[in-house]
Amino acid sequence: MSGFTDEELSAFLDGELPEARAAALEAALDRDPALGARMAALSEADALIKAAEPAPSNATAPPEMLAALARLAEAKPGSAANVVALRPKARAPSAGWLAAMAASIALVVGGIGGAAFQASRDGVDAAVALDAAVGVIRPANPLHAALETIPSGTVAPVPAAR
Amino acid sequence: MQGADGFLSDGADGSLPRLRRFATSLAGSGADGDDLVQSALERALTHRESFVPGTRLDSWMFRIIRNLAIDGARARKRRPTADLEEADAVAAAGAETTAETRLMLRKAQAAIATTLPPEQREVLALVAIEGLPYKEAGGVLGIPIGTVMSRLARARAAVAALVERPAEQGARA
């Protein structure tokens, strides 16, 4: 057995596994195909989960909702500066183990992850973005290179993924 | 089209899309989710003094939405069929998506909407989808980080099992 629980693999995907343990996991993924398969399955599920629920664009928000938002903005909850920047996880899993994974899984996971990110960012329907992501990925496509270097389950902007 | 002064804003569209997506995942449909967001925005306005400066505004809003969802769930039954209809609509939207990817996406949507217990769905929504750190998600849900971790792992494992491809099962007919 690999000695890593599903909870740890899941936390790794979220960048929430403590540094030392994450490093140990990355090393183990390099030499343990069974562990890699478990990781790939969870990572793929995670990518699908992220892609399954596109965030609705404000263009589809009811007028009364936008009005309520504006009133709330005017009221300034609390008293300090309220803007909280929402950024991707500071520590994402690194790429070392990806190469050991089956290429088809990497392509699907990476493609969906990238598409979901791009879709949520641009307000594009995730299903449409998926088309672009999984349809054709040639070596000349920047997405192809990205898939080689970005760990699956990680979301990252890919210039020509659409 | 977004709140003044950058309020609830983290980009071109602000945070409203995230609040709506989270509410939809709790409510089971987009329409019910939007009702939740509307109520949450109004409640946030009347209870604005309860926001603690220096904490995350999005977590505060997620918590309000969740509390309202719990109140609402007590009052009426969920409608899981709406989830499947919406999943179909989303899946059908990508006409040229490969059949396999579309099938997996649909399975994932159905798994999230109908198979996962609510306590797994909400933690999945906050962490995997909205990207909250475990600590923030635990604060929103009122549960320890260890519980966040275990629910996430169970939810992902459940989705993984449900979308597993025939080739990987070794039981291709």
**Structure confidence by residue, pLDDT tens digits, B137-171:** 999 999 999 999 999 999 999 999 988 765 544 44
- Chain B closest CA to A148's CA: distance in Å? 20
Count of pairs with CB atoms under 8 A, one residue in A, one in B: 215
- Chain A closest CA to B77's CA: distance in Å? 22
Q: How many residues does chain A have?
A: 162
- Chain A closest CA to B59's CA: distance in Å? 10
Which residue would you say has higher pLDDT here, B137 or A48?
B137
Q: Which residues of B touch A91 (CB under 8 A)?
A: none
ipTM confidence:
0.73
Q: Which residues of B touch A78 (CB under 8 A)?
A: 48-49, 51-53
Which residue would you say has higher pLDDT here, B48 or B13?
B48
User: Alpha-carbon distance A38 to B63, whole Å?
Assistant: 33
pLDDT of residue B63: 95
A151-A153-A155-A161 Cα dihedral, nearest 10 degrees: 80
> pTM to 2 decimals?
0.65
Res. B41: pLDDT tops 60: yes
Q: Which of residues 113-132 of A touch B (CB under 8 A)?
A: 120-121, 123, 125-128, 130-131
CB nearest to B129's CB, from A10, A49, A68: A49
User: Alpha-carbon distance B133 to A32, whole Å?
Assistant: 28
- The answer to whether the Cβ–Cβ distance between B153 and A5 falls below 8 Å is yes
Q: How many residues does chain B have?
A: 173
CB nearest to A69's CB, from B8, B159, B168: B8
Structure tokens at A82: 């309220």
Where does the pLDDT of residue B101 fall: very low under 50, low under 70, confident under 90, or very high at 90 and above? confident
Q: Closest chain B residue to A56 measured between Cα atoms?
A: B17
Q: Which residues of B touch A42 (CB under 8 A)?
A: 156-157, 160
Res. A8: pLDDT tops 90: yes
Cβ-proximal residues to B46 (8 Å cutoff; 6+ apart), any chain:
none
Average of per-residue pLDDT values in chain B: 79
How many Å is the maximal CA-CA distance in chain A? 57
Arithmetic mean of pLDDT, B60-66 = 95
Q: Which residues of B touch A14 (CB under 8 A)?
A: 127-128, 134, 152
pLDDT digits (tens, 9 = 90+) for A56-107: 989 999 999 999 998 888 887 774 444 444 444 444 454 444 444 444 444 4
Q: Which of residues 16-35 of A touch B (CB under 8 A)?
A: 16
Res. A10: pLDDT tops 80: yes
Q: Which residues of A touch B48 (CB under 8 A)?
A: 72, 75-78
pLDDT digits (tens, 9 = 90+) for B64-97: 999 999 887 666 554 444 444 555 555 555 445 5
Question: How many of the other CB atoms lie within 10 Å of CB of A70?
Answer: 16
pLDDT of residue A75: 83
Res. B112: pLDDT tops 60: yes
Cβ-proximal residues to A151 (8 Å cutoff; 6+ apart), any chain:
A92, A93, A94, A95, A97, A98
- Name the residue type at position B18: R
User: Alpha-carbon distance A136 to A61, whole Å?
Assistant: 33
